[in-house]
Structure 1
Amino acid sequence: MLPPIPVLADYGISAKHGFLPDDLPLARLPDPYYNKWEAVVANLQALILSRRLRGVVDRLPVLSTDGLEHVAEWRRAYCILCFMAHGYVWGGDRPSDRLPPPLAVPLLAVSTRLEVPPVATFAAVCLWNFKPLFVDEGVDRLENLATLNTLTGSLDESWFYLVSVAIEARGGPMIAIMLAAMATVRRGEQQEPDSEADTAATVTACLCAFAERLDDLTGLLQRLHEQCDPTVFYHRIRPFLAGSKNMADAGLPHGLIYDDGTGHETYRQYSGGSNAQSSLIQFFDIVLGIEHRPTGDKGDKNDKAGTLSASEPPPHNFIMEMRQYMPGPHARFLRDVAAVANIRPYVLARPHDRPLAIAYDACLSMLRALRDRHIAIVTRYIVVPSREAMRARSRSRSPETVRRQPAVAQPKPVNLARPTDSKQLKGTGGTALIAFLKQARDETGEPAVEDWARRFLGRQARGPGKNDFFFGKPDESPLTPEVAAAAVTDDEEEIVGGMAGTWTIDDDVGGLCQY
């Protein structure tokens, strides 16, 4: 007997807003017992700026989580504790490798209750960290959104989070529509052949609506540049988003100790926040039958070079790992949807139904376009600033520059914005940045049904500087020709920084911020 089609309410998922909560996130915990937490997070930017956050947190009492009642309160506690924790770790000249009991004890308890890791995940900074400016307007409009918490207090940081919130809200209704399409396919398989035409028409209509909404999401993603400056993001925001995994070059060689007061000190390592932790995008892949392989795996079964020996560990699939950073119910929802996904087999079984095949391939094309746009954004916000920082560091080491430097130089903070000589830098789950994103994009087109669609979706993206905003317009290109050409090369060899980490070509695990 086939498993049932998942019911959204069973997983706490909204038919209107998707993975965003139906009940708006709390702007403040109602119990005065938690006023000390709220006071710290309300002054977080000033405390980080003055380098006084650690002292204030160290003097806090260890508050119990027994006063948290509704799930919205648990989510609020998780968010503010994560923001305080990341400010504590990364808010000094050197990162702290120990989270004190006033933060560690409640954060571990809240994370266990919500089934999320004790780190600033996508849920902490996006899903549960927004408010509408006007409650009678939709939360899928960027102009109607504001953040509840930030680490820097900058408009750039708020906008960075809110673009993802708007994408989640705008794409949310597609979850129910595609589940309805899957249910229609299942009913059609159990009914008389006379109903086949109605089944195909319904599924085709759902796929057409899905393709149009995917195109809409690409437009939202493209708006990131409106209020988020690449330099501010790379040097000011990104360092605070880092986790504790593979952070040796950023000052956390072993990870982070969550001091729970028991005396058992064990280093833990977690990836930082990532758009790869968005359940919405993984849902899109699942319903369309898109499979993502470990980075570097081209899927060629005859490729002996890619064959592992018995002593080698299996390749690491970063996308699957990111489900561990989703709220537990959301991850279980994806697992259960994968067990009943039937859209692609249904389309393949009807090769002569051109409208159905075209609608399905259009969805793949729109999702591939979304990933193309994301590659362009990552190039502008991460790859280019990273290389500019490396060149600036090289210039600062020249004899003339050294001679002109003052006798007493201000020490620079140790974090992800600091260039390094290491050729093995890894980020919070790091991977080969452009290679990883391109592979995910290329895999999106592989399930195409029609030959022409398969050829079209397998094409190479055009080069930069061809009237593309993110790679530079001909009349006002933000990139030099050399940088633009290097930014899109397939042979990524230099070290580049991820959204919350640093990336290299030889890493065999996943990285941050991929759609």
Structure 2
Amino acid sequence: MLPPVPVLSDYGISPENGFLPDRLPLQHLPDPYYNKWESIVANLQALLLSKRLRGIIHDLPVLTTTGLEDESEWQRAYMMLAFMAHGYIWGGETPSERVPPSISIPLLAVAKHLDIPPVATYAAVVLWNFKPLFNSEPIENLENLSTLLTFTGSLDESWFYLTSVAIEARGGPIVPLMISAMTAAREKDAPYVTACLRSFASRLDDLSVLLVRMHENCDPHVFYHHIRPFLAGSQNMAEAGLPNGVIYDTGSGTDTYSQFSGGSNAQSSLIQFFDIVLGIQHRPTGQKFDKAHSDQEGTAPPPKHNFIHDMRRYMPGAHRRFLADVSLCANIRDFVESRKVDTELTGAYDLCLARLQNFRDKHIAIVARYVVMKSRETPPWTRDESNKHRQNLALSSSSNNQDGKKLRGTGGTALMPFLKQARDETVEPAITPWKKTMGGGFGKLKGVPVVAPPVTDEKLEKTRSVPDLDLQVNGLAGSWAADVETDGVGGGGLCHY
């Protein structure tokens, strides 16, 4: 028997905003005791530019966390300390493998409270790092968003983070929608589950539209050489100058090296929720699906590192526990499988897989343009003597990369093989035979987009009433296709220049 369906409020998840906080992130800690932290992050760009950040942090007293009260204060403290730590590590000519006690001691304490690693995770740079320009306008509107903290002070960096904020906000209502669909599946209410899946597919189109807006205000050169290096972690970063990782110095004299991934979109609980609720299984990178062997006990290959599952460690503890509990009772795939004759239901389910794969195609195209193509350019130090002796993720990637397979993401994993495999795995649970066509589709010809049937008010009245279930399909995502054969990484749209 399946466990109870999770209740969102038990995990601090908003029915409107999803994994974004229900209350807007704090713009300043109320206790003046923390003004020294606030002063540093308010001048972070200038301190990095003038190479004074490390000296200022060395002279900073160790502040305790006793003045932090509600969760929004802990979240802002974590965000500030993570930005300071990454600025300290990556802000010099060479990376620092030791973070001083003035940052390490409070960062470790805050991270322990939030049950999250002491690095600049997706939560630090996206989930808790935004404010609306006007409270009367929705936060899913990119033009109504601003960041609280950046390393560079550039529009490009803000836009990079805010695109993900808008995606999280627009995708937030999918969480209660699909939780209700799981309950309906238990009650064998196929029409309602079908309506939910169609709405899910429609909103995935919206997320794809937001994702491809990345190129509007984020320049690939700025991202690759000025933003990306600060987001790197300390795991698999030997070529970038951290062969052993980083020591969080607490002054005890017994501190050892730690290795953590940096911020990664794989740390988005929303995207992982999509996979779980649809029954999508991700394998360790490089491991192929073998149904014949997986069905035979004792013949499965030995377990390997699974990057997507590992990224759950970098989510806030409550979000990680929510995904674990949803995994125990996810029943949509089994429900659809048991009703293969219901073409409305199976078509809606397969459409969600197609739309999610389409979203991942667009992500691959963005990575191709912003990372792979930039890594193949002439390294900056051949043109600028001031960069000759610098070490960071961008410079090491440019100097060593000959193809996308060797590139590492800020999370520390092999970049393109991981993304392409995750994209291909998205449609493996399909009920209808999947045709690997340009743009993807079930039974569709090349170049013909799959369009989600609209969910009418009349249809919903016959099933159940769920707020915001009737969603519109956007044309851009339906007509844009990624050419996954181009250079082995995916072209189309963002890559055709």
Match status 1:450 vs 2:429: no
Match status 1:420 vs 2:399: yes
**Contact 2:433 2:443 (8 Å CA) reproduced:** no
Partners in 2 of 1:216 and 1:210 — Cα distance?
10
Partner of 1:4: 4
Deviation at 1:426? 4.9
Q: For residue 139 of structure 1, give the secondary structure of its aligned residue in structure 2.
A: coil
> Please, which moves more after superposition, 217-226 or 430-439?
430-439
RMSD: 2.9
Partners in 2 of 1:438 and 1:89 — Cα distance?
31
Inter-CA distance 186–255: structure 2 relative to 1 (3 Å threshold): same
Deviation at 1:434? 2.3
Q: For residue 420 of structure 1, give the secondary structure of its aligned residue in structure 2.
A: helix
Partner of 1:196: none
**Contact 1:244 1:252 (8 Å CA) reproduced:** yes
Inter-CA distance 40–415: structure 2 relative to 1 (3 Å threshold): same
1:77-121 per-position Cα deviation (integer Å, ceiling 9, x unaligned): 000000111111111111111100110000000000000000000
1:184-234 per-position Cα deviation (integer Å, ceiling 9, x unaligned): 11123xxxxxxxxxx111111111110000010000000000000001000
Match status 1:249 vs 2:239: yes
1:426-465 per-position Cα deviation (integer Å, ceiling 9, x unaligned): 55553442222111111111111123668855899989xx
Partner of 1:56: 56
Q: 2:366 aligns with which of 374, 377, 383?
A: 377
Partners in 2 of 1:315 and 1:123 — Cα distance?
26
Inter-CA distance 426–308: structure 2 relative to 1 (3 Å threshold): farther
Partner of 2:180: 180
Partner of 1:511: none
Q: For residue 284 of structure 2, give the secondary structure of its aligned residue in structure 1.
A: coil
Partners in 1 of 2:243 and 2:412 — Cα distance?
15
Match status 1:233 vs 2:212: no
Match status 1:270 vs 2:260: yes
Partners in 1 of 2:344 and 2:29 — Cα distance?
52
**Contact 1:289 1:343 (8 Å CA) reproduced:** yes
Deviation at 1:50? 0.3
Partner of 2:213: 223
Inter-CA distance 175–25: structure 2 relative to 1 (3 Å threshold): same
1:457-491 per-position Cα deviation (integer Å, ceiling 9, x unaligned): 5899989xxxxx99xx9xxxxxxxxxx9435289x
Partners in 1 of 2:73 and 2:260 — Cα distance?
24
Give the TM-score normalised by structure 2.
Answer: 0.85
Q: For residue 102 of structure 1, give the secondary structure of its aligned residue in structure 2.
A: helix
Matched to 1:255, the amino acid is G
1:52-72 per-position Cα deviation (integer Å, ceiling 9, x unaligned): 000001001100000000000
Partner of 1:283: 273
**Contact 2:121 2:262 (8 Å CA) reproduced:** yes
**Contact 2:375 2:401 (8 Å CA) reproduced:** no
**Contact 2:376 2:401 (8 Å CA) reproduced:** no
Structure 2 counterparts to residues 291-310 of structure 1, below 5 A: 291-301=281-291
Partners in 2 of 1:57 and 1:17 — Cα distance?
35
**Contact 1:384 1:487 (8 Å CA) reproduced:** no
Inter-CA distance 355–313: structure 2 relative to 1 (3 Å threshold): closer
Partners in 2 of 1:180 and 1:23 — Cα distance?
24
Structure 2 unaligned segments of length 5 or more: list them: 448-475, 492-497
Inter-CA distance 435–410: structure 2 relative to 1 (3 Å threshold): closer
Partners in 1 of 2:386 and 2:173 — Cα distance?
55
Inter-CA distance 244–462: structure 2 relative to 1 (3 Å threshold): farther
Partners in 2 of 1:344 and 1:34 — Cα distance?
49
**Contact 2:435 2:443 (8 Å CA) reproduced:** no
**Contact 2:408 2:415 (8 Å CA) reproduced:** no
Q: 1:349 aligns with which of 338, 341, 344?
A: 338
Partners in 1 of 2:308 and 2:256 — Cα distance?
27
Partners in 1 of 2:152 and 2:200 — Cα distance?
36
Match status 1:486 vs 2:468: no
Inter-CA distance 60–20: structure 2 relative to 1 (3 Å threshold): same
Structure 1 unaligned segments of length 5 or more: list them: 189-198, 464-468, 474-483, 491-515
> Please, which moves more after superposition, 409-418 or 364-373?
409-418
Inter-CA distance 203–409: structure 2 relative to 1 (3 Å threshold): closer
Matched to 1:417, the amino acid is A
Deviation at 1:328? 0.5
Q: For residue 88 of structure 1, give the secondary structure of its aligned residue in structure 2.
A: helix
Partner of 1:89: 89
Deviation at 1:414? 1.1
Inter-CA distance 38–9: structure 2 relative to 1 (3 Å threshold): same
Inter-CA distance 421–123: structure 2 relative to 1 (3 Å threshold): closer
1:380-403 per-position Cα deviation (integer Å, ceiling 9, x unaligned): 00000001135x77xx4xxxx9xx
**Contact 2:245 2:257 (8 Å CA) reproduced:** yes
Partners in 2 of 1:186 and 1:129 — Cα distance?
38
The share of aligned pairs that are identical, in percent, is 61
Q: For residue 65 of structure 1, give the secondary structure of its aligned residue in structure 2.
A: coil
Match status 1:440 vs 2:429: no
Q: For residue 237 of structure 1, give the secondary structure of its aligned residue in structure 2.
A: helix
Q: For residue 19 of structure 2, give the secondary structure of its aligned residue in structure 1.
A: coil
Partner of 2:66: 66
Q: For residue 131 of structure 1, give the secondary structure of its aligned residue in structure 2.
A: strand
Partner of 2:312: 323
1:264-306 per-position Cα deviation (integer Å, ceiling 9, x unaligned): 12010000000000000000011111111111111125589xx
> Please, which moves more after superposition, 211-220 or 448-457?
448-457
Partners in 2 of 1:21 and 1:245 — Cα distance?
29
Inter-CA distance 283–422: structure 2 relative to 1 (3 Å threshold): closer
Partners in 2 of 1:102 and 1:270 — Cα distance?
20
Partner of 2:460: none
**Contact 2:263 2:411 (8 Å CA) reproduced:** no
**Contact 1:245 1:428 (8 Å CA) reproduced:** no
Q: 2:249 aligns with which of 240, 253, 259?
A: 259
Matched to 2:252, the amino acid is T
**Contact 1:442 1:457 (8 Å CA) reproduced:** no
Inter-CA distance 459–489: structure 2 relative to 1 (3 Å threshold): farther
Partner of 1:206: 196
Partner of 1:386: 375
Partners in 2 of 1:72 and 1:223 — Cα distance?
29
Q: For residue 239 of structure 2, give the secondary structure of its aligned residue in structure 1.
A: helix
Partners in 1 of 2:78 and 2:414 — Cα distance?
31
1:239-271 per-position Cα deviation (integer Å, ceiling 9, x unaligned): 000111111111111110101111112010000
Equivalenced residues, count:
449
Deviation at 1:7? 0.2
Matched to 2:86, the amino acid is H
Q: For residue 187 of structure 2, give the secondary structure of its aligned residue in structure 1.
A: helix
